[in-house]
Structure 1
């Protein structure tokens, strides 16, 4: 009986921790444009460096034993190069704040849509109202930022939305399949490293040899270890503990963090309209989050 409140507490703690981790990840990914590294290098760091830790763990725990081949294929694709290259390429066109808006801000709405289409879920009026506020604030943030961003910012926004769809599916599968930490590490890191690294080494353009040491180390540490070994595990735990709806709603706070850090660190604009939109987004977030009900027995 006492384990459920504890599980919900750790689930909420994991989700809010990711808000802070991802807010900084938006900045790190944005500054990668000036490092000389290609998006293919960043993806190689994400899978290759994380595998240095993941491979020994997977050889010991053998997480593939609890997965069907179809599950391995689907989860590996969802967390694979198509997803991450869309995200990294998006930062070449749009500001860091847009990454938070369109990858995290619309997650509650995407989760509701998937829930209705795939599982015939009936969202409450409170969820719909909160998701509506989040969507409106995301549109306002994107419109306000378009005045100072590059003309191709809409391309980055579309790529971020694509990434959000991929990630929403990942969160749904984490909850539905009750994936363990090692299963996520195996599919999200090891399988993709085996498939992607040879392609990157043989055929894809790279700026690794010419990148300055400082930016190279920053990207290696953050891209290589934080998203795959920390981010995915925390998200999976939160999705299992407090549900996909709550997790995606909490992650909607990332645009606020990303916008503030983008203004402070990168000098990206954050007008009073953007500030009001972030406040509106936060209200929508708080409205959307609800206590997860125990499953029927």
Structure 2
């Protein structure tokens, strides 16, 4: 007898909510460069504003009690400035749609590679087939975008892939270590704010003084609260309840939604080749998603 536990239902709901939230985040991050903010400013908003909300909660729940120093260091590094600065830098070179393609679109493939190489986790035939379809579509989309829009887009694409590797490690470890919501927030927000904000304030270039209030508020809300609070909480819940493979596959739907939003809102190219590649990517995602039979041990 097979039934779907309520926790799995909420896990799928959390993953699909993030698909739409992150699709808009791609657009907001792409237009950040036009506001006058530097990528270092965006990282400061990400860690600084989220920590204002997170600090009282962490002081109350004391989530560090359930973590070793090594675990705190690893999770904080994975979700730290190196990861997010690579992502923000990618938007300086590549279209917004490429952020979804090369961060979220390749997650199933990256997850398979890391699972096999680090944890000896054998992928299923469906996962392999889906990952291959996703990879083919990503290559086609990258080639089409580079050849028709921006010869430097490949630089952004590589930076996005680096971000995908970081995030895949986070998804895998959050499931294997069964990290709680407050533990994720503590490592991803509080620790990184304590490390990064002093360095940014003293050494890194900033454009805060010249940014109009409207664009600043948009970036503050979306960079400061959406990814580090809502995003981390929802992804942690999804990875624990429906598994790493399903979570990664669902999140990889972001490229299709992001491509459409990029075309509609930013006027980015979405020609016949791009549309066909996005359809192939969607098929690959549907093939990759599998029903989770039992929780990991």
Q: CA deviation at 1:147?
A: 2.5
Which segments of 5 or more consecutive residues in structure 2 lack a partner in the other structure? none
Please, which runs of 5 or more residues in structure 1 have no aligned partner? Answer: none
Q: Distance in 1 between matches of 2:2 and 2:133?
A: 35
Hey, what's the Cα distance between the residues in 1 that align with 2:94 and 2:74?
A: 29
Q: Deviations over 1:137-176 (max 9, x none)?
A: 1111111111233221111011000000000000001000
How far apart in 1 are the matches of 2:136 and 2:146? Answer: 15
Tell me the number of residue pairs that the alignment of Structure 1 and Structure 2 aligns: 297
Q: Which residue of 1 aligns with 2:272?
A: 272
SS at match of 2:148: coil
Secondary structure (helix, strand or coil) at the match of 1:190 reads: helix
Q: Over the residues paired in the alignment, what is the CA RMSD in angstroms?
A: 1.4
User: Deviation string for 1:56-77 (max 9, x for gaps)?
Assistant: 0000000000000000000000
Q: Which residue of 1 aligns with 2:146?
A: 146
Q: Is the 8 A contact 2:48 2:197 kept in 1?
A: yes
TM-score normalized by structure 1? 0.98
- CA deviations on 1:257-288 (whole Å, 9 max, x unpaired) are 11000000000000011111111111111111
Q: Is the 8 A contact 1:37 1:211 kept in 2?
A: yes
CA distance in 2 between counterparts of 1:199 and 1:2 reads 52
Shift of 1:119: 1.2
Cα deviation code 1:5-62 (max 9, x no counterpart): 1111111111111100000000000000100000000000000000110000000000
CA contact (8 A) 1:35 1:212 kept: yes
Mapping of 1:26-105 within 5 angstroms? 26-105=26-105
**Contact preservation (8 Å) 1:54, 1:190:** yes
Q: Do the aligned partners of 2:243 and 2:295 also contact (CA within 8 Å) in 1?
A: no
TM-score, with structure 2 as normaliser: 0.98
Contact map agreement 2:146 2:152 (CA 8 A) in 1: no
Correspondence 1:288 to 2:267: no
Contact preservation (8 Å) 1:94, 1:149:
no
CA–CA separation in structure 2 for the residues paired with 1:202 and 1:108: 39
